[in-house]
Structure 1
Amino acid sequence: MCESSNGGEVCLYDANNQSGRVYDTLYSKPSYTGTYYGTNVGIDNTVNSTWNRDPDTTVSFYQFANYSGLGLGQLGGGKTNWSQFGEENSWSSHCFANNPACPG
């Protein structure tokens, strides 16, 4: 599912990503609604690791919906296992730095 490497895609994995729970999006998401592909597992507050497939743009992940709460950035092309920072299952939205709706 996480196939694009030429910009604008973020892949979200839950704590059991070995079992294939993945969600990818081409856009900033003000709130994580819905489920991982092919499951009934909700995305909100279940993201354990992320992969920013945009090679040039930083994406920030936020603790709450509407780009609020703690926000941590991930450089273009970066992969992060958030559990190593104690931030697994913390994310409810993300925003690409080139999106004018993102917090400054």
Structure 2
Amino acid sequence: MCESSNGGEVCLYDASNTTGRVYDTLYSKPTYSGTYYGTNVGIDNTVNSTWNRDPDTYVYFWQFANYSGLGLGQAGGTKENWGDLSEANSWSSHCFSSNSTCPY
């Protein structure tokens, strides 16, 4: 989990500072329908921090499914604590800027 550092992976955490329960994916997700690993806790609207493991590609997080609502970007290779935003816990989808269906 969250082991790749050579591209295409983003890790989602339910706590700040990239701690707590984790979910990672190698792909853009138009809707968060999964659960954190080893739990039955849904990831939709529970993400507090993220780690973009792709060193070269921006990833954009969206407030609603299908890349809609407020969208904020995160640079490649960085960790982000979204807990200070009023939108914290409201992410419902994400896409890598390299994905042709990404609105950015």
TM-score, length-scaled by structure 2: 0.93
> Aligned residue for 1:90?
90
CA RMSD of aligned residues (A): 1.3
Q: Encode CA deviations 1:31-88: one digit per residue, 9 max, x unaligned.
A: 0011100001000000000000000000000000000000000000010010122332
> Aligned residue for 2:31?
31
Separation in 2, partners of 1:69, 1:54: 24
Using the TM superposition, name which of 77-86 and 49-58 deviates more. Answer: 77-86
> Does residue 46 of structure 1 match 2:69?
no
* DSSP 3-state at the match of 1:40: coil
Separation in 2, partners of 1:99, 1:5: 19
Separation in 1, partners of 2:78, 2:85: 15
* DSSP 3-state at the match of 2:84: helix
> Does residue 60 of structure 1 match 2:60?
yes
Identity of matched residues, %: 80
> Aligned residue for 1:9?
9
Separation in 2, partners of 1:47, 1:21: 10
Stretches of 4+ aligned residues off by more than 6 angstroms: none
CA contact (8 A) 2:51 2:79 kept: yes
Separation in 1, partners of 2:95, 2:43: 16
Deviation at 1:90, TM superposition (A): 1.0
TM-score, length-scaled by structure 1: 0.93
- Give the aligned residue type for 1:70: L
- Give the aligned residue type for 2:55: P
Separation in 1, partners of 2:66, 2:15: 23
